[in-house]
Every structure is written in C-alpha cells, then in structure tokens.
Amino acid sequence: MRKKSFWKYLVIIVLVAILGLFLYKKLSISDNYYKYDVSNVVEVTNPGQGMYVQVATHNPVNIEGYKDQADLFLLAYDIYDYRDRPLSESKLNELRDCLETVKSLGKMAIIRPAYGFDLYEVNDAENFEIIEEHIQQMATVVNEYKNLVVCIQAGFFGPWGEWHSSKYMPVDNVKEERENRNKLLSVMLREFDERIPVLVRRPRFIRDAAADGIDISRIGYYDDGLLSTESDYGTYDDVDESGKAVSREAELTWIDENLCNPMGGEMPVKSMYSKPKNADKEFKQLHVNFLNLKYNEEVLDSWKGQKLYDENAYDYLTEHLGYRLLAVDITYPERIKSGFMKKNQGMTFTIENDGYGFVPKYYDFVWVFETENGEIIKEAGYDLNLQEAGNLYHITNEEKCTFFYSGKELLNKNIKRIGFSLEEKSDDAIETTTVLFANGQIKIENGIYFIITVNKDGECEIAEY
C-alpha cells in the first residue's frame, strides 16, 4: 500500500513539474536582440543642415532658382537705408516674404542683418538705440518663423555685418568694443525666440560674453575664413596670459568641448587646411552643420576629384554635415502577453549620430505603441546614458544614445506595432519631425518610425520594409 502511495505521489509531483515548466515557458518572455546594418548607408537630407546659398532679401529670385540644389538659404537682410530710422513695414514684409518662400519650399533659413553688404563710407547705424529698435522690429517677423530659422548671425556692426571696420568696435578702445559686442548679444538673445541660436564671428567673442555673465547656451559661431590660414583670416585671434597667440588646435579643442549650436561658413581659398582629411578632422571638432554651396567652388571642386576613406571626398564631407542618425541595435521581448515576467518587459533601442553636428536640442525621443483598434499610446523614452527623459542633442561624432522602456504599459494591451517618434516641443504644441535614418532600415509613417510588429499571438518581430 505504501509503495502504491509513493508512486502515486511521485507521478503527481512529476506532472506538476511538467505543468510548471510548461507554464513558465508560456508566461515568461526571453529577450530578442537585433543589430541593424550600419555599413550600408544612404544619402539623406534632414532639416537645418547641408549646403546653403546666400540670397539678398530684396532680390529673392535665387531662392526659387536654387531650390533643387540648396538645402537652406542664408538671407542677407540689407538695412543700409535705415541707419537713422526705424524699419518700414515694406522692409519688414521683404523679410517675411522671403521666409514664407523658404517655408513653402520645405527649406530652412539662416539670417544675417547688416547696414550694407558692400564697403561704404559708413556701415553702421547712427546710434545703438536704432540698432535695438531694428532688432525688436525684426523679432516680430523672425519669431513667427522660429521653426524654420536655423540661426541668426549677429551682424549689425560694420560692412557685411562681420564685426570689423565699425565705430562700435574701435580698435583703440578694447573696453568699449567688448561692451558693445556684449550689449548687442544681450539684446538679440532677449528679443529673438529662445529656440533660435545667435552666431558670432569668433570664438573669443563667446568666451568674452561668458566671462561677462552672459548665458552662452544659445551662442555659436560661424567662420567665413573656414579652412584658409593658420588663424582662418583672424577667426582665431585670441592670446593667452603671456600674450602668446592661442594655437589653432587649442581653439578647435575649446570649440569641440564647449559649443553645441549650429555652425557653418564658407571657404575663401584652397589651402593645406582644406585638404579632405584635415577638413574631416576639423569639421568633427567644429560640429559643422552647413557650408556655402557657391563659395569657394575651387575648394569644393578639389574635393570632388579626391578620395576620402575610399569614397568621393565631396560626397563624404557633405553627407556628414550636421547630424546623421543610424539605427544601431534593439533588444525586445520575444512576445507581449499579459502576465509575462516583469524583468523581461523592457526594451532598448540604440541610435548613433554619425554626423559632424549635434541633433537639434528640441527633438525628444518618444516610444509609440499602436493597438489593434488603432489607438496610439506614447511614453517618454528614458536615456540610459544621461539617466533622464530622452533627448538626442548631446550625441555627435559617432556617439551613441540608448533609450529604455520598462514595458509596464504593454500589459493587457492588444499591441499591433511598436515604434518611436522624434517630437518637437514648441510652446504648448507637440509636432513630430521627419528625420531620415542614414542606414535606411528605419522608415517613417505619419511621423512614426515603426520598428516592431506584433502578431495576434503576441509574438514580436522586427518590422521589414
């Protein structure tokens, strides 16, 4: 009798164990891992970067003429005739019309105001009060188009707005010159919308502003002497405490470590610095977003006839302007089912920025879940690098960013697809932005990048396109 009971209990124990193992496999979820191909990249054009053409706002015909060649436009706003009076309504409409044309073409703009884009006897406003009034007037127009203004260059002083040969920058009075520069920057930062960076001509000007208590988080610089001479025609003009010139490499290192706003310019001459390999090195340090398509064509043509890393140098350098996003890898649950083990609910998705520049500060990473009935559920991505809600702007030059999701909201949801969006937060509105991935394996659909499909049994697979 005891033997029968023993075998009876043993059979029950084995059956319970088998049932437990079955339920464990049924209810527990293992992680899948998928690595995207980052070697097979395609050319992509994303907002706010690439090759620009300079256009006079009073003669905007080139906007239409270069719409198929230029990625963005530098709007040269010539206010020479208003050196002693407020801007007229027609002059403000001139700027507005140009911005509207840029918008209609799906492009973006850089703006530079100046009291003359030629060398005149006087290239300055009569007094600073006039300049301040002009900035306030311009801001009423520019701020309306803040989503398509990449940056505004701090002109206003001297010919071409280049901050030289100006009564506001006297070479014999360093204190007054510095005060005027910082006064102008303070007004521009105050009047123009906070998402619009202000660019100056030299890195030294930014350091001076910071030393005088100005918040430089929105200040960057542009270089119209890019890759030209040891000092880039006076761009790098600072001296150390002993009076010795700060080296080019020291300036590049400082820029690399301290500035994260859009940067660009033009190359006036072909030189040892403009050789493709050095251009690539310095563009990484400068975080270059845009270059002049027309100036200097000698430099650009020289790139077209050379190789860089087994690619055409021109193609390589221009395709890396700004940010260039790559999908790197993803971990995701084998299936989504109510009751699966919490430790396996999470997902991670890694993005790499293979470009020279930073991703704009206003793009946030958001997880997106689509249910069987078409409902869209959004959850903030959590940046494992920064240990905070996800934003991409801090990654550049082959740096990576991994976003995590806990998976708690997936329980008891009939999820059909999983993806993410890059969203712009502007005032109270939230807009998704169309940013293309260079490895082409991530596609966008109505502002959402769907990366996982889920079948009726809850099994997850990588989305195929």
User: For residue range 196-235, what is the model confidence (pLDDT) as tens digits?
Assistant: 999 999 999 999 999 999 999 999 999 999 999 999 999 9
Task: Determine contact, residues 313/307, Cβ cutoff 8 Å.
Answer: yes
* pLDDT for the residue 316: 96
Distance CA 113, CA 135 (A): 9
pLDDT at 239 over 70: yes
CA distance 73 to 62: 9
Q: What is the CA radius of gyration of the chain?
A: 28
Q: What pLDDT is recorded for position 335? A: 80
String of DSSP letters for 42-99:
-----TT-EEEEEEETTSTHHHHHTTTT-SEEEEEEE-GGGTTSPPPHHHHHHHHHHH
pLDDT of residue 224: 94
Which carries the bigger pLDDT value, residue 406 or residue 63? 63
Lowest-pLDDT choice from 428-432, 446-450, 453-457:
428-432
Confidence of residue 38 (pLDDT cuts 50, 70, 90): confident
> Which residues are CB-neighbours of 424 under 8 A, at least 6 positions away?
147, 362, 363, 364, 430, 431, 432, 433
Q: Given a cut of 80, is residue 431 above it in pLDDT?
A: no
Order of strands, sheet of 31-35, starting from the edge strand that comes earlier in the sequence = 31-35, 325-333, 347-353, 399-405, 382-383, 388-389
The rounded percent of the chain whose pLDDT value lies above 70 is: 86
Is residue 55 predicted with pLDDT exceeding 70?
Answer: yes
- By the 10 Å C-beta count (0-12 exposed, 13-18 middle, 19+ buried), 238 is classed as middle
The average pLDDT across 135-145 equals 97
State residue 430's pLDDT score.
47
> 384 versus 36: which is more confidently predicted?
36
pLDDT, one tens digit per residue, over 282-328 is 999 999 999 999 999 999 999 999 999 999 999 999 999 999 999 99
Which residue type, as a one-letter code, is found at position 355?
A: G
450 and 415 Cβ atoms separated by less than 8 Å: no
Exposed, middle or buried: residue 199 (CB in 10 Å: 0-12, 13-18, 19+)?
Answer: buried
pLDDT tens digits for range 154-186: 999 999 999 999 999 999 999 999 999 999 999
Residue 371 has pLDDT above 70, yes or no: yes
What pLDDT does 353 receive?
92
- Inter-residue contact 250 to 294 (CB < 8 Å): no
pLDDT of residue 343: 46
pLDDT at residue 13 in the model: 66
The whole-angstrom separation of Cα 189 and Cα 196 is 9
Q: In this structure, are residues 181 and 205 in contact, taking their beta carbons and an 8 Å threshold?
A: yes
Element (H, E) at 172: none
Q: Identify the pLDDT of residue 24.
A: 46
Between these two residues, 96 and 335, which has the higher pLDDT value?
96
Q: Residue 361 corresponds to which tokens in the numbers above?
A: 């500060």
Q: Which tokens sit at 121? A: 């006897």
Res 262 pLDDT > 80 = yes
Residue 453 has pLDDT above 50, yes or no: yes
Please tell me the predicted confidence (pLDDT) of residue 47. Answer: 87
Summarised one tens digit per residue, pLDDT across range 323-358 is 999 999 999 988 876 544 344 457 889 999 999 999
Confidence class for position 40, pLDDT limits 50, 70, 90: confident
DSSP 3-state of 213: coil
The answer to whether the pTM exceeds 0.85 is: yes
How high is the mean pLDDT of the chain? 88
Question: What is the model's pLDDT at position 61?
Answer: 86
Q: Is 24 helix (H, G, I), strand (E, B) or coil?
A: helix
Rounded Cα distance, 105 and 84, in Å: 35
